[in-house]
Every structure is written in C-alpha cells, then in structure tokens.
Structure 1
Amino acid sequence: MSKAAKAAGRILRIIGRIILWIFIVLISLLVICGVVNKIMQQGEKDLLKDDRCHMVEVDGKNMSIYTEGSGEHTIVLMSGWGTPSPMYDFRPLYEKLSDDCKIAVLEKFGYGFSDKTDGERDIDTLVRQDREALQKAGIEAPYVLCPHSLSGLEATYWAQMYPDEVEAIIGLDMSTSVLMELESDNMLTFEKVLGKTVALSGINRPMLALSDLPECRNAEEKKQYIAVYSANDGNSTVLREADSQKANCEKIKSLPLPKTPTLQFISGTNRDNERWVDSHREMTDASSHGRMVQLDCGHYVHHYESEKIAKEIRSFLSELKK
C-alpha cells in the first residue's frame, strides 16, 4: 500500500471517529434534555390549570374553552394539528378582535388545558365534541369558525352538516379536502414519529426558554406556556388525529362544498402550491360570499400578520350585515 493510500486511510479513520463522537455527544445531550424535561414536568402540574378557561365535561373528560370579549359575532378559533396551547397561540389575533367580537378558543382533547383521551379522533367525533363543548359553555350558535391548518377539515364538515350553526368560515391557511393529495401516508407516519421523538427528547424546552414568545405577556405566562407545551407536545391523543385524515378528506369530498360565507387567508409558504390555492378558490367560489387573501408569511399566519388579518376579518364581517 502506498504512503498516499495509508495517509488517506488514516484521515478517513480520524473523520469517522470525529463523526462518531459528534453523534455520541448529540445523543447524550438529547437524553439529558429528556431526563431534565421529565423532572421539570413533575413540578409543573399546578401550571396545567388556568381559571381564565371554562372547563366543560365532554365524554367524561374535561375540555377547555377560553373566552374573551363580546359583540354581535362569535368567532371560534380552532387550532392546527399539534399546536400545544391554542389559548396562547391565537392571542396575537384575538386580542385585536375582542373589542367588538366574542372570542372562543376551542382546546380539543390533548391540547391546551384539556384532558387527553383514548377515544376516537375521527372528524365526526371531533365536530360532535366541539359542538357539545360550546353548548355546555353557554356559547350559542351561529359561529364564525376560524380554523388554522388541519382544523379546516372540521370547520368545513361542520358547515356541511350543520349549516345553520355556521355564520362564516375564516380560514387561516386552513387544510381542505385535497390535503391527502399533497401529503402521503408515509409523510404522515414520518411526522408522527418525528413529533414523538422530539417530545421524548424534551429539546423544545430549552429552545422555548431561550426564545422571545410574543404570546406571553410576562415571565409567569412564559413559564406556564412552556409547561403546557411540554405536557402536550407529541401526545398520543393529538398524534392519533392523523390516522383519520384520509377518511376525513373523503367524507368531505362526498358532500357539496358549503355555501357558507368564507374568507380564506393563504400563507406565503403555500401560495405557490397551485393545488392548495385552487382548493381554497373552489371554497370561495362555492360560498354565497367568498374572498381569498394571499399573504407573504409563514404557515402560522396569525403570528406574522395578525394586524392585517384582524382588519380583513372586521371588513368581511361588516359585509355580512348588508
């Protein structure tokens, strides 16, 4: 073997050892984060309750609904898949609307301050539980459903099945029935595995602690937000919602699109996805009063463009009165 070949072999072995040690260090850090996260969670149980939320019993479990404001319209905010704390997540938007609208933030089982459940997570169950929770909290229809991301399927089905209960749908880059054309079963499986892995590692805790969280008004709220996030991140109740996505999309496709007035916001993340945009245009075209607004921001549009979205919502709701 030549000297050059021997030198190359030594270099490869050194690189291999460096890569191995980097891998060992990363795994060790994730394990340490996971252990610390579990220890921290034991002392945070009191933070997983909040008197600002209505707790109502649905299917023998407690579901949380946060309310704020008053007005002619009742806006029901519905979170995207895996959003650990809807009450905090939607705050940048609802605080700009609650002066003249009644706000209700639905926290499904597995989200926010609500219990987790082993029950079914198909669309019929989710919509039934949503409706029952609102009724038990004394929040009367009709509702302006304002879903983000995956909960767009619930809002669409709700309007299809109970049109008299839905005054309008305001989609925050919401999912439509074409979702499974754009996301494969393998991708969903990967997302579930990744979500569970990240949750077990507890890596989000130090990342959140170091982040500026505009949803929180002070240090105590940030502490509570991190506790709720850590308790809900990657939980099985939420992850099981993905198992029914294909059937949910087919169920919605089997019914006519709702004629419900709709305002659809499209994120910069999805505005170049022709099928995504077309599916929202189909909804606005089918509605009695529809409009679509394209934004230049990320998927969590209510974090980036809350001022503009609130202004558009007010204008849209005022048009419904005419």
Structure 2
Amino acid sequence: MMKKAFILVVTVMAALFIFNELWMKKEEAIWLDPPGRYVEVDGHKMHIYSEGEGEHTIVFMSAWGDTSPYANFLPLCKDLSAYAKVVIIERFGYGLSDTVDGERTFDKILEEDREGLAKAGIKGPFVLCPHSISGLEATLWAQRYPSEVEGIVAMDTSIASMRDVYEKQGFNIQIPIFIFLQKTGILRVINGIPKNETDKMVTAISCRNEVNKNVISENKHIVEACDEIDKNLLPTVPTIQYVSKQAGDAYPKWITGHQAIADASVDGKCIMLDCGHYVYKFEEKRIAGDIKEFIESINSV
C-alpha cells in the first residue's frame, strides 16, 4: 500500500513538473512583449512602465518580494495618469526585469534605478511613492540627491528606526517552501487559471522567477541601509507617511518612526489607515486622491 502511494506521489509530481516546464516555455513570449519598455543598465534589461504627462513625475517603487510591481501599481497608475506622468519601475529581480549577479545593496539598487530612469528619458525631480522595503531606497535617494526628489508618499514603508527589529529577523522558512512549490510546479496549480492577460503575466513571473537570488540578497542588506540613513539628517522634502494599523499595532515604533519623518519634513503628514500592509490596495481611491492633492500642493511649499 505504501509503495503504491509513493509511486502515485512520484508520478503526480513528475507530471506537474513537466506541465510547468511546458507552460514556462510557452510563456517566454511575455518577456519579449512587455507592457512597458526595456532599458539597458549594466548590460541587463530593466523593465519600466510609464503613462500620462504633466508637470510632476510620480515613481512607484515596490515592496520586497512583489511578483509584478507593474500589475500591483497599475490601478493607481491609471487613477493618476490624467494628472501627472506616472512611472512604475521594476528593479532587477522583479517583474519582467532581469535577475543579475552580485550583492543587492541599497546603494547599488538606487544607482541602477536612477540610471534606468535616465535611459528611459524620464527626468526628475520625482515624487517617489515607495511601498514597504523600497522606503529605505527612497529615503537614501532624498538624502543623497535632494534635487531629484520633490516629495515622498510613503506607503507603510520600512524605516531606519526599526533597525533593531530587522537585525533580529532570522531565517525565513517561507523562502525554501516557496522555492519548492515553484520548482515542482505545485505553485502553478495553487495560482489557478488566470482571468486575464495581466493575471497570465503575474502567473508566469511567479512560476518562473518570484523568489530569486536578487530578492533574497536585498533582504540581507536592510540593516546596512538603515545605518547609512542614520548617518545623515532625515529628508526635509514634503511627505505623506501612510502607516497601516496592522503594522502600528504590532510595532509602536513603526508609528513614532514615521511620525519623526513627517516632523522632519517642511510639509509632512503621518496618516494611519485601518488596514493591512498593502495600504495602496486596501485604500486605493483614498491614496490616489491624496497623491493628486499632494502634487498640486508641492509648488506652494
């Protein structure tokens, strides 16, 4: 009985693996026809999507481990493209961008993203709209190149004042589990049948490349980025600091840290939202409206 069960499991796993490999071969066309455009940075392709025109340029920057920043931010992009130029940047290891070699320090990520925007012909100053871990990159950006950043809309972002918490984070058991599901093809079954072309793209990225060496490496450099930020004064550019109640309830320093960033700003607000970490999905219309008012107010500061 045990032998038959073992043979059945092996057969099913082999079938899933082959099924996944065949689908990944078919999905290669998605990388050949991206919704945005590719620019070459350090010999690799970076995917950048933009739409709209206006006096201000909004740049959306994604959380750690996001499958497709393009798909995640597209609804907000559509909401705001009538008022400004809106850009979704997919840093290396994310979305349709290449996975590259080397350590993923925040210094490296920042310089690559700046170069990618420049090569795409997208000029600053920018209104940076980071979510989660990319808040550290946005803060470094404003500290080092203040003339390139005219405002920051931080969506429940990682902050340097949480350094001790990040330092204590241990091995993430979810990573090897996810890699196993991805490599065996089980993840494709879990994802289910895509509903539209965007879902097809997200599934293709998830089943091929979601947890990769770039994503794993950048997570190891969070404390280092916090130390770099702490060497300098907090940015004074106008800002909205959104804080999710979920994160605030778990970590009181999350609230005080974001409030300190708002207090350092020439025009800063810290806004608590009664939702989870992906605030821009839970409160899309609210945030879109706030960003519109924010960019309209920048010139008066």
Letter in 1 for 2:278: Y
Partner of 1:311: 289
Partner of 1:283: 261
SS in 1 for 2:60: strand
Partner of 1:68: 51
Letter in 1 for 2:236: K
Letter in 2 for 1:141: G
Report the alpha carbon displacement of residue 207 of structure 1 after superposing the two structures with TM: 3.0
Letter in 2 for 1:58: V
2:234 aligned to which of 257, 265, 268:
257
Report the alpha carbon displacement of residue 205 of structure 1 after superposing the two structures with TM: 2.3
Moved more, 174-183 or 293-302: 174-183
Partner of 1:4: none
The verdict on how the C-alpha distance between 1:288 and 1:207 changes in structure 2, with shifts beyond 3 A counting, is same
Letter in 2 for 1:228: I
- State how far apart, in whole Å, the 1-side matches of 2:84 and 2:5 are: 53
- State how far apart, in whole Å, the 1-side matches of 2:61 and 2:5 are: 41
- TM-score when scaled to structure 1? 0.84
Contact 1:47 1:228 in 2 (8 A): no
Partner of 1:137: 120
CA RMSD of aligned residues (A): 2.6
Say whether 1:229 aligns with 2:206. Answer: yes
Report the alpha carbon displacement of residue 226 of structure 1 after superposing the two structures with TM: 1.1
Letter in 2 for 1:310: A
Moved more, 47-56 or 25-34: 25-34
Partner of 1:199: 182
Structure having the higher Rg: 1
Report the alpha carbon displacement of residue 254 of structure 1 after superposing the two structures with TM: 1.4
- State how far apart, in whole Å, the 2-side matches of 1:177 and 1:61 are: 30
SS in 2 for 1:187: coil
Report the alpha carbon displacement of residue 198 of structure 1 after superposing the two structures with TM: 4.1
Report the alpha carbon displacement of residue 137 of structure 1 after superposing the two structures with TM: 0.5
Residues 141-200 of structure 1, C-alpha deviations (whole Å, 9 max, x = no match): 100010011011100000010000000011111111134322345535435434434433
Report the alpha carbon displacement of residue 28 of structure 1 after superposing the two structures with TM: 8.3
Say whether 1:246 aligns with 2:229. Answer: no
- State how far apart, in whole Å, the 1-side matches of 2:278 and 2:56 are: 23
Report the alpha carbon displacement of residue 94 of structure 1 after superposing the two structures with TM: 1.4
Residues 221-273 of structure 1, C-alpha deviations (whole Å, 9 max, x = no match): 32222112222211112111112112111111111111111111112321212
- State how far apart, in whole Å, the 1-side matches of 2:15 and 2:121 are: 45
- State how far apart, in whole Å, the 2-side matches of 1:148 and 1:283 are: 15
Which runs of 5 or more residues in structure 1 are unaligned? 1-16, 212-217
Partner of 1:301: 279
Partner of 2:153: 170
Letter in 2 for 1:150: I
Contact 1:52 1:66 in 2 (8 A): yes
Moved more, 135-144 or 91-100: 91-100
SS in 1 for 2:173: helix
Say whether 1:99 aligns with 2:82. Answer: yes
- State how far apart, in whole Å, the 1-side matches of 2:161 and 2:186 are: 33
- TM-score when scaled to structure 2? 0.90
SS in 1 for 2:151: strand
1:149 aligned to which of 132, 135, 154:
132
Partner of 1:39: 22
1:182 aligned to which of 130, 140, 165:
165
The verdict on how the C-alpha distance between 1:46 and 1:77 changes in structure 2, with shifts beyond 3 A counting, is same
Letter in 1 for 2:272: Q
Contact 2:34 2:96 in 1 (8 A): no
2:97 aligned to which of 78, 98, 114:
114
The verdict on how the C-alpha distance between 1:224 and 1:29 changes in structure 2, with shifts beyond 3 A counting, is same
Say whether 1:82 aligns with 2:65. Answer: yes
Moved more, 125-134 or 241-250: 241-250
Report the alpha carbon displacement of residue 30 of structure 1 after superposing the two structures with TM: 6.8
Partner of 1:124: 107
